[in-house]
């Protein structure tokens, strides 16, 4: 066979030979995946990528767990507070039970005071009740018109005296029933409320007994014809006596009423100052109606204490308003 028939086979693309020189080259791997694996030394491999993804998921999971733990720790005090409030809450039956026991304690205190006043019943009737009538003059005489008149008189005097004597305790029982429904700030602001109520009530009783009663009885004793004897039924006198003292005690609670209304926001010092002139006219009219005498001095004796009470009420309302403004500034600041 000739040499021409033995020509070399042309090289293919996958061979490592060179067509020009016919010499062998370093065989190539021929694997494109090798170039991809050698792309970047910093880039993570498939295993490294899986580890990085798992580590990022674990980090996110840890952060989420920490956030949930913090939220749970913040929610626990609120839940405990709610649970404490619910545990301390009282049902309607519990409120009725509490109210019943407050009534029982008040009734016991009233009965004890009644027994004490019953021991001094003669002193209360002869000195305290009839004393102002004797001082008004000899023209007024008490008389009993019914068989049970004096027995009823003694009971009324004893029970009314027991009510006055036990008034602070009764007011305290009412306050203890209302107190659980108030906030802590309101409780602190009302620590001396029973003392305040009692002072106002006793001041009104003293004013009615030592000021208003003598003025009224002297006017009644000196008014009219000397030919007519003033024989007063004992039941009418005791009604006038007790009504006068009780009305004076209630009227002197005006500062307390202004305090309560100012606390709940229904009364302001500006409102009371604006209507001061109207209040003065109204008080003078009330004094003219209540006072039996047409003497202006006697009417002023009744009107001046009411005007003083009104000014004290303005002062109390202004104090409450200042305290509320100070608390708002502290909360906002």
For residue 2, is pLDDT > 70?
no
Interval 210-217 mean pLDDT: 88
DSSP H stretches of helix in 179-233: 184-189, 193-207, 213-222
Rg from Cα positions in the chain: 48
* Residue of higher predicted confidence among 300 and 242: 242
Identify the top-confidence range among 108-117, 177-186, 225-234, 252-261.
Answer: 108-117
Q: Which residues pair with 230 in a beta bridge?
A: 140
Phi, psi (deg, nearest 5) at residue 283: -70, -35
For residue 76, is pLDDT > 80?
no
Please count the other Cβ atoms lying within 10 Å of the Cβ belonging to residue 231: 10
pTM for this prediction: 0.68
Q: What is the pLDDT of residue 191?
A: 76
Percent of the chain beyond pLDDT 70?
A: 71
For residue 78, is pLDDT > 60?
no
Interval 215-226 mean pLDDT: 82
Lowest mean pLDDT among 115-129, 165-179, 289-303, 318-332: 289-303
Burial annotation 58-79 (CB, 10 A radius, 16+ → b, else e): eeeeeeeeeeeeeeeeeeeeee
Interval 268-296 mean pLDDT: 85
pLDDT tens track for 154-201? 999 999 999 999 999 999 999 888 887 777 777 776 778 899 999 999
69 pLDDT band, cuts 50/70/90, is: low
Q: What is the pLDDT of residue 260?
A: 86
3-state secondary structure at position 2: coil
DSSP H stretches of helix in 179-295: 184-189, 193-207, 213-222, 234-251, 254-263, 269-274, 276-290
Burial of 147 (0-12, 13-18, 19+ CB in 10 A): exposed
Q: CB–CB of 261/267 below 8 Å?
A: yes
Q: What is the pLDDT of residue 327?
A: 82
Greatest C-alpha distance within the chain = 185
Q: Which residues pair with 17 in a beta bridge?
A: 24
Lookup: tokens for 11: 């090289």
Lowest mean pLDDT among 55-59, 127-131, 199-203: 55-59
Burial annotation 171-203 (CB, 10 A radius, 16+ → b, else e): bbbbeebeeeeeeeeeeebbeebbebbeebbeb
């Amino acid at each position: 066979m000739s040499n021409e028939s033995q020509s070399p086979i042309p090289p293919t693309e996958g061979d490592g030979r060179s067509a020009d020189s016919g010499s062998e080259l370093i065989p190539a791997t021929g694997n494109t995946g090798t170039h991809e694996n050698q792309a970047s030394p910093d880039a993570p491999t498939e295993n490294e990528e899986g580890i990085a993804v798992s580590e990022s998921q674990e980090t996110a999971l840890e952060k989420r767990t920490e956030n949930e733990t913090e939220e749970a720790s913040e929610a626990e005090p609120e839940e405990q507070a709610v649970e404490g409030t619910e545990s301390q809450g009282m049902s309607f039956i519990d409120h009725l039970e509490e109210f019943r026991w407050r009534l029982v304690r008040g009734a016991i205190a009233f009965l004890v005071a009644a027994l004490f006043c019953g021991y001094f019943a003669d002193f209360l009737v002869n000195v305290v009740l009839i004393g102002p009538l004797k001082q008004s003059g000899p023209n007024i005489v008490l008389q009993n018109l019914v068989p049970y008149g004096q027995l009823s008189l003694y009971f009324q005097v004893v029970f009314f005296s027991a009510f006055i004597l036990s008034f602070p305790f009764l007011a305290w029982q009412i306050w203890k029933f209302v107190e659980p429904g108030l906030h802590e700030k309101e409780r602190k602001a009302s620590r001396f409320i029973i003392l305040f109520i009692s002072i106002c009530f006793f001041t009104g009783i003293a004013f009615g007994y030592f000021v208003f009663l003598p003025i009224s009885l002297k006017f009644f004793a000196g008014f009219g014809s000397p030919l007519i004897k003033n024989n007063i039924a004992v039941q009418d006198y005791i009604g006038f006596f007790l009504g006068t003292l009780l009305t004076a005690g209630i009227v002197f609670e005006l500062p307390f009423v202004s305090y309560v209304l100012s606390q709940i926001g229904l009364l302001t010092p500006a409102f009371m100052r604006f209507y001061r002139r109207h209040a003065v006219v109204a008080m003078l009219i009330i004094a003219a109606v209540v006072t039996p005498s047409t003497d202006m001095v006697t009417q002023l004796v009744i009107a001046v204490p009411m005007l003083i009470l009104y000014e004290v009420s303005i002062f109390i309302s202004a104090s409450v308003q200042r305290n509320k403004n100070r608390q708002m500034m502290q909360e906002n600041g």
